[in-house]
Chains A and B, each alone.
Chain A
């Protein structure tokens, strides 16, 4: 059964800092890797996703995937207070569609 773990559990960074969030998974056949962001009291919303090894950049956000090490990460450049939220990583295994989420990393960016 797929196990998805996130670290750190919580993070406080100053405005303008680089933030790095980590996610590990257990199923080496996993095929789709995504980050969701959930602001307090709101619905989780898909942020970025990646299928193959390497990096993908969208604005201030970069996702990095290393399937061999069963790890992917999200990096936020020039972190803003509006980035404060719960960040959830999601992994899809091969075969049947079954998204497995981590517990989340709570990020606070203080001005």
Chain B
């Protein structure tokens, strides 16, 4: 079956520092990876959509300068939260799909706390 492993599961960083999270797709080819943030206020925001061999598309309010993403092959993607502050807290989820399928396979998320 299709699985997505996401790590770390939890991380705590000091205000102003950065942290990186990674996603590994197993059992399918992650042609596209969508990164979301599920905030304490319960919103489920799309940060960016990455497709192998294409430019990464960031949503309004999210930038490459703040959330750089790497998607070097069909099984791996990473995202870094640079200069994290309190408003960046939340559960970051990666969802991957294969080819032109509509279903996203999600990782369990990386919960970011900022001190």
Contact = CB atoms under 8 A, between A and B. Distances in A.
B108 A42 contact: yes
B103 A49 contact: yes
Contact of A46 (B46, B104, B107): B104
A36 B102 CA distance: 12
Contacts, number: 53
Interface of chain B, helix or strand or loop or mixed?
Answer: strand
Interface in A10-66: 32, 34, 36, 41-46, 49
B92 interface: no
On chain B, which size bracket covers the interface? 20 to 34
Contacts of B104: 36, 44, 46, 90, 99
25 contacts: A1-B60, A32-B102, A34-B103, A36-B104, A42-B108, A43-B4, A43-B105, A43-B107, A44-B93, A44-B104, A45-B106, A46-B103, A46-B104, A88-B44, A92-B102, A97-B100, A99-B34, A99-B102, A100-B46, A101-B36, A101-B44, A103-B42, A103-B43, A103-B44, A104-B42
7 shortest interchain CB distances as A-B pairs: A43-B106, A101-B44, A43-B108, A44-B106, A46-B103, A103-B42, A32-B102
Interface of B: 4, 6, 32, 34, 36, 42-44, 46, 49, 57, 60, 93, 95, 97, 100, 102-109
